[in-house]
Amino acid sequence: MAKKKTKQPAVKRPGLDDSVEILSAGEVMETAITDTLEQNYMPYAMSVIVSRALPEIDGFKPSHRKLLYTMYDMGLLKGAKTKSANIVGQTMRLNPHGDAAIYETMVRLSRGNESLLVPFVDSKGNFGKAYSRDMAYAASRYTEAKLDSVCEELFRDIDSDTVDFVDNYDSTRKEPTLLPVTFPNILTNNTLGIAVGMASSICSFNLEEVCNTTIALIKDENHNIKDTLLAPDFAGGGIILYDASDIDSVYETGRGSIRVQSKWEYIKEGNLIEVSQIPPTTTVEAIMDKVADLVKQGKIKEINDMRDETDLRGLKLTFDLKRGQDPEKLMAKLFKSTPLEDSFSANFNVLIGGVPRVMGVKEIITEWLAFRTECVKRRTYHTLKGKKDRLHLVKGLEYILLDIDKAIAIVRETEDEKEVVPNLMIGFGIDEIQAEYVAEIRLRQLNRNYILKRIEEKEQLIAEIAELEAILKSEAKIRRIIIKELEAVVKKYAKPRKSEIRYGLPVVEAEEKTEEIPTYPVHIFTTAHGYMKKITPQSLRMSGEHKLKDDDAITQQIETTNDAHLLFFTDTASVYKSRAAQFEDSKASVLGEYVPAKLAMDEGENIVHTVVTKDYSGFLLFVFENGKVAKIPLSAYETKTNRKKLLNAFSDKEKLVKIMHFTENTDVVLISSVNRALVVNTAQIPEKTTKNSIGVQVQTLKKNQTVKSAITLEAAQLENHTKFRTKNIPAAGSFLKENDIAQQLTLE
């Protein structure tokens, strides 16, 4: 077992004699690492589990409960709204966390944030939106809040000893350990909590369905909950793709997955799709980011534009479609590839008596019933005690009724005020409590009618006490009370489902097959500034002069087909891969498409050469300033996976002069800065398998000399090129003269 050794230096305390020894000073203590973890880490872990992250049977975490009770204590259940900053400040008397954490808790509980199916805070102002990552809530000084009317069900009879109260963190106030909720709130709102070594993720269910299911289970413990609890219901709506096995797993074990699909509509007039509801596990921005990535990668081609049109009326995400596109097929692709369809992973982990338990829906309702039964019993007992105390006082008044004059005489004839109560006790045979009550009656109330009215309560109190005692003795009566309360909640707060349930419908899957690319001849034109045009031969014949930006020029013209692969090599030694089909057919009269933007290149990254291939045959020559040349097979850039960017596409240790693509061995001319020309056949250059190879020395150079250009011998059209050719490399080459150079090649 691992041991931890610590050596503590001897400690001398001011004012103590040197002979005084301090225990443990200078001793070497051996401690098992497991003991250290148990003493230091386990208390923290248990604190997070029990007092922070997991909900209890009332459906609240401690932070929620402290906030709501503070608002209740502030009179915000019936009163007007107050500034959120005021609420946060008051809550800090119960919650030792900072104001930011408290306010964030209140935001999530609010109606404005739309996180909860049954919100508890009636909010005014900007509280953000649960479905938006970037729509931030306003500061607490700008917003106002009070408790929503449904909170009456959270605090009903809380002053009737229905739950235990404990001291707050500094023992200056009392706070409830649980709230006596009159409905299974644990299931009506979604809760997410991450503790140490465990987590909780509870999906929300419709309030009416939960209450009806609870009532049905009270009446018949063998009730099939799927008959009344149809499926989860989320605050943001969406479409639940009903899978019986998944629902059974969640209902029975508390663990499982619920697939939720966005709700959308095709608007034929505008040729667009409007998404109005999304899964609870995502945001509008996350969806838009993913769709944008798919469009950049060329996987989604049906969309022209995408907009977030969310306003005061609610969420709206719009996709403008290209002409002739099938919206059903597009949405099938998006559901498969984006969070427009997502899964809610359920993990019903709840604290029961301070112990975390993962339970199914039926077990949770059973535990809630046990909790609510105890609340009703405690409330009944508290009411019974009050009735009995009142009956005791009324019985004392009966004796006064027998002789009011005697009571008055006792009070009048008693010399000392302190002796009034004892004398009444002796005179009428009543106890101290009854005598104190009689003594406190005002003189004008000591009339026969007043006393008779008070005594009339006796029979009513006796009947009420009998009823309360009967309730305490009968589980059936308590169950009927709970049912009545649940029915009242349904009548007052029930709302229609927000999430639609889709039964037995096959989910349309996007086609796995690669989309067939039409093949037809095209001309590829690239410019020095990074623009590219893909023009068909017919269009090219009818076109005039190319439209270019000022100081831009065409650098490459390649004949190929629409299904060709394009490799764009950049000055950062990277290569971006695309297909010609991913670029729109263009004309000479337009600028073309800006390749760095289309392929999402880094800022400042420039294209140095474009390679067009259909089968990755041939090889590339990378000519560097130091006279070295790297010969790399083009097949080295072919990848089995659909990678769009390759790093280290060539060596960046020396400045690149030119990239050349050949399908067969060819004569190449290298020209140095001192106008020495060297003709070499590519067969003489050994091939390298590593893409970023520095190559081999081909042209020898003296100090301060560099290779300034490279060109094929056919394009150079050198006169008497044999004098520039060498059998072995490296070689310096021969000086160029005026009569050696054709018109196409000029000296610098």
Is residue 701 situated within a structural domain?
Answer: yes
Considering the domain architecture, whether residues 658 and 700 belong to the same structural domain is answered as: yes
Q: What is the pLDDT of residue 25?
A: 56
Which residue from 460, 454, 349, 443 is spatially nearest to 401, judged by alpha carbons?
Answer: 454
Q: Looking up tokens 């190449």, which residue turns up?
A: 668
Phi and psi of 556, rounded to 5°?
-140, 145
Is residue 726 situated within a structural domain?
Answer: yes
> In the chain, what is the greatest distance between 2 CA atoms, to the nearest angstrom?
150
Considering the domain architecture, whether residues 31 and 122 belong to the same structural domain is answered as: no
Strand 628-633's sheet: what is its strand order? 656-662, 619-624, 628-633, 696-697
How many percent of the chain have pLDDT more than 90?
55
Q: Is the pLDDT of residue 125 over 90?
A: yes
Which CATH number do you get for residue 157? 3.90.199.10
More confident residue, 467 or 510: 467
Considering the domain architecture, whether residues 545 and 661 belong to the same structural domain is answered as: yes
Q: What is the pLDDT of residue 118?
A: 96
Considering the domain architecture, whether residues 23 and 90 belong to the same structural domain is answered as: no
- Average pLDDT along the chain: 88
pLDDT digits (tens, 9 = 90+) for 640-690: 667 788 888 999 889 999 999 999 999 899 989 888 888 899 999 999 888
Q: Among residues 151, 181, 211, which one ends one of the domains? A: 181
Q: What is the pLDDT of residue 723?
A: 82
Considering the domain architecture, whether residues 267 and 287 belong to the same structural domain is answered as: yes
Helices (H) and strands (E) in the chain, counts: 20, 35
Considering the domain architecture, whether residues 559 and 672 belong to the same structural domain is answered as: yes
* Tokens of residue 389, six digits: 């105390």
Considering the domain architecture, whether residues 556 and 695 belong to the same structural domain is answered as: yes
The residue type at 616: Y
Rounded to whole angstroms, the Cα distance separating 580 from 376 reads 74
pTM of the predicted structure, to 2 decimals: 0.67
Considering the domain architecture, whether residues 30 and 108 belong to the same structural domain is answered as: no
Q: What is the pLDDT of residue 226?
A: 94
169 is catalytic: no
pLDDT digits (tens, 9 = 90+) for 261-275: 999 999 999 899 999
Q: What is the pLDDT of residue 739?
A: 65
DSSP 49: I
* Tokens of residue 398, six digits: 């009966």
Is residue 448 situated within a structural domain?
Answer: no
Considering the domain architecture, whether residues 174 and 267 belong to the same structural domain is answered as: no
Q: Among residues 272, 304, 339, which one ends one of the domains? A: 339
Considering the domain architecture, whether residues 708 and 612 belong to the same structural domain is answered as: yes
Residue 110 — pLDDT band, cuts 50, 70, 90? Answer: very high
Which CATH number do you get for residue 278? 3.30.1360.40
* Tokens of residue 38, six digits: 């148990």
The residue range of the domain holding 597 is 521-740
Q: Is the pLDDT of residue 298 over 50?
A: yes
* Tokens of residue 736, six digits: 């160029």
Q: What is the pLDDT of residue 640?
A: 67
Q: What is the pLDDT of residue 37?
A: 81
Q: What is the pLDDT of residue 494?
A: 95
Q: Is the pLDDT of residue 26 over 80?
A: no
Rounded to whole angstroms, the Cα distance separating 175 from 165 reads 5
Is residue 506 situated within a structural domain?
Answer: no
Q: What is the pLDDT of residue 507?
A: 46
DSSP 696: E
Burial 677-711 (b: 16+ CB within 10 A, else e): bbbbebebbeebeebbbbbbebbebeeebbbebbb
* Tokens of residue 702, six digits: 């003296």
Q: What is the pLDDT of residue 283?
A: 94
Is residue 404 situated within a structural domain?
Answer: no
Active-site residue identified among 44, 103, 137, 142: 142
- Mean pLDDT over 98-123 rounds to 95
Q: What is the pLDDT of residue 126?
A: 95
- Mean pLDDT over 473-485 rounds to 95
Q: Do 557 and 525 form a contact (C-beta atoms < 8 A)?
A: yes
Is residue 217 situated within a structural domain?
Answer: no
Q: What is the pLDDT of residue 445?
A: 73
Rounded to whole angstroms, the Cα distance separating 630 from 653 reads 12
Considering the domain architecture, whether residues 581 and 729 belong to the same structural domain is answered as: yes
Burial class of residue 315 in the structure, from the number of CB atoms within 10 Å of its CB (0-12 exposed, 13-18 middle, 19+ buried): buried
SS3 679: strand
Rounded to whole angstroms, the Cα distance separating 239 from 317 reads 16
pLDDT digits (tens, 9 = 90+) for 578-635: 888 888 888 888 888 889 888 888 888 899 999 999 889 999 999 999 999 999 999 8
Q: Is the pLDDT of residue 61 over 70?
A: yes
Considering the domain architecture, whether residues 74 and 110 belong to the same structural domain is answered as: yes
Which residue from 588, 587, 590, 607 is spatially nearest to 599, judged by alpha carbons?
Answer: 607
Instruction: Characterise 592 by phi-psi region: left (phi > 0), alpha (psi -120 to 50), beta (else).
Output: left
Is residue 247 situated within a structural domain?
Answer: no
Q: What is the pLDDT of residue 645?
A: 84
As for how many domains the chain has, the answer is 4
Q: Is the pLDDT of residue 342 over 70?
A: yes
Burial class of residue 266 in the structure, from the number of CB atoms within 10 Å of its CB (0-12 exposed, 13-18 middle, 19+ buried): middle
Q: Among residues 163, 181, 199, which one ends one of the domains? A: 181
- Mean pLDDT over 147-161 rounds to 95
DSSP 684: G
Q: Is the pLDDT of residue 294 over 70?
A: yes
Rounded to whole angstroms, the Cα distance separating 485 from 4 reads 59
Is residue 206 situated within a structural domain?
Answer: no
Q: What is the pLDDT of residue 459?
A: 86
DSSP 110: B
* Tokens of residue 235, six digits: 């605050």
Task: Count CB atoms within 10 A of the CB of residue 286.
Answer: 18
Rounded to whole angstroms, the Cα distance separating 87 from 79 reads 13
